[in-house]
Structure 1
Amino acid sequence: MSPTPNFTGQRVVILHRPGGTTERLIRQLAMLGMRVDVQWAPLSQAAPAPDLVMVDADAGWSELFPWALGQNPMPMIALLSSEAPGRIAWAIDQGARAMIAKPVIASAIFPALVMATRFHAEAIDTAAKVADLHERIRLRPLVLAAVQSIMSMQGCDEAAAYRCLRQDAMRSRLTLEHVAAAILAGGRSRSEAS
């Protein structure tokens, strides 16, 4: 179970027209120790990035954000009064990980902050794992070539050669792919790959 995050000192930008919604958000976020900026203009790439973004999903547009679609570098919460499927889809596509229904009630804010923060962290972790797996798949031909090289160097079968490669990777605390690349580049001797 993940610990409940502490939002004290974090900066949130609310992309919404000033009014009752923003006033309630500012009041509640301030009680949580957050610094709040409200604007109804695109985020600037030159300005320091906030820790969290809340966006009016009823009237928002994609150019509010200086990053590619769904590539938000911080947690995002959609503020939504509409049940229009297009507006909900827009918020999800932008990277919103939680939603607060309008009119805003104070008890909805903290849970949305926690959910958005946790789901954003999980999405980043998952994306990193997927990228690593894609890289390993891309490098799989190196592993096969290294196994074949070990087979010819040691006169062993494929299973034994793979076992040697795996043991070398564990000993050196590198991935199979890195050890395979080193073997193929001549960076590892026959004795190291055994």
Structure 2
Amino acid sequence: MTATPNFNGWRAAVLSEEDGNVERLKRQLVLLGMQVDVQWEPLAPTELPEIIIVDADRGWDALLPWSIEAPQRPVAALLGSEAPGRIAWAIRHGASAIIPKPVASATVFPALVLAVSIHTERLAVQAKIAHLEERLRLRPVVFAAIARLQSERKVTEEQAFAALRSTAMKRRLPMEQIAAAFLGGVDPLWEVG
């Protein structure tokens, strides 16, 4: 993330029972321009806020509406315990920042920025992995196009691959797309052979 987020207008869900810590946290979130909902029941998956702050000292698995390790929103943990199990629970449920108890106003904004930043990075990495997995799934198409070019144009495997790569670079398209178009008969690749 390159810019510090502006939280003005964001909705925040604080999953905790009301107490002095939650009151201080809520006050600070309102000062940042956020609308704050405090509840001690599971979040509905249909209307998720922009950011979630969960009491990791007492949280349970069904409190957040997504599968473990796949957070759909930035999550910060409200944590007063040093118990490794509670810290592990927070991490397992997507928390990427901690707001320590007792809540101090100076800890809230940096924790929110960190949670949003790490969540954004997670989404970017997931998208990149999905893109690479798709390209990997399409590798047989590239190999089939290379084999067909070799057979039809009487070129070596290296020449067929180089021609396919060169065509993709010239057209600024993925090799997989060029290979699929060639195999589908849409593009004869006259520049090869």
Report the residue type matching 1:82 in the other structure: S
Residues 24 and 105, structure 2, Cα contact 8 Å, conserved in 1: yes
Match of 1:173 in 2: 172
Match of 1:55 in 2: 54
What RMSD, in angstroms, separates the aligned Cα atoms of the two structures?
1.5
Match of 1:118 in 2: 117
Match of 1:10 in 2: 10
Question: In structure 2, how many angstroms separate the alpha carbons of the residues matched to 1:176 and 1:68?
Answer: 35
Shift of 1:168: 2.1
Match of 1:140 in 2: 139
Report the residue type matching 2:112 in the other structure: L
Match of 2:94 in 1: 95
> Secondary structure at 1:162's aligned position in 2?
helix
Shift of 1:171: 3.3
Question: In structure 1, how many angstroms separate the alpha carbons of the residues matched to 2:2 and 2:49?
Answer: 23
Q: Give the ranges of 4+ consecutive aligned residues of structure 1 lying more than 6 Å apart after TM superposition.
A: none
Map 1:80-91 onto structure 2 (within 5 A).
80-91=79-90
Residues 153 and 192, structure 2, Cα contact 8 Å, conserved in 1: no
> Secondary structure at 1:98's aligned position in 2?
strand
Question: In structure 2, how many angstroms separate the alpha carbons of the residues matched to 1:7 and 1:190?
Answer: 52
Match of 1:191 in 2: 190
Residues 54 and 77, structure 2, Cα contact 8 Å, conserved in 1: yes
- Measured against aligned partners, the alpha-carbon deviations of 1:23-65 in whole angstroms (never above 9, x if no partner) come to 001111111111100000000123x220000000011011112
Question: In structure 1, how many angstroms separate the alpha carbons of the residues matched to 2:189 and 2:45?
Answer: 52
Report the residue type matching 1:80 in the other structure: L
Match of 1:31 in 2: 31
> Secondary structure at 2:65's aligned position in 1?
coil
Query: Could you tell me the TM-score, scaled by structure 2's length?
Result: 0.94
Report the residue type matching 1:65 in the other structure: L
Question: In structure 2, how many angstroms separate the alpha carbons of the residues matched to 1:40 and 1:84?
Answer: 21
Question: In structure 1, how many angstroms separate the alpha carbons of the residues matched to 2:54 and 2:106?
Answer: 18
The alignment of Structure 1 onto Structure 2 pairs a total of residues equal to: 193
Report the residue type matching 2:17 in the other structure: R
Residues 183 and 193, structure 1, Cα contact 8 Å, conserved in 2: no
- Structure 1: give runs of 5+ residues left out of the alignment: none
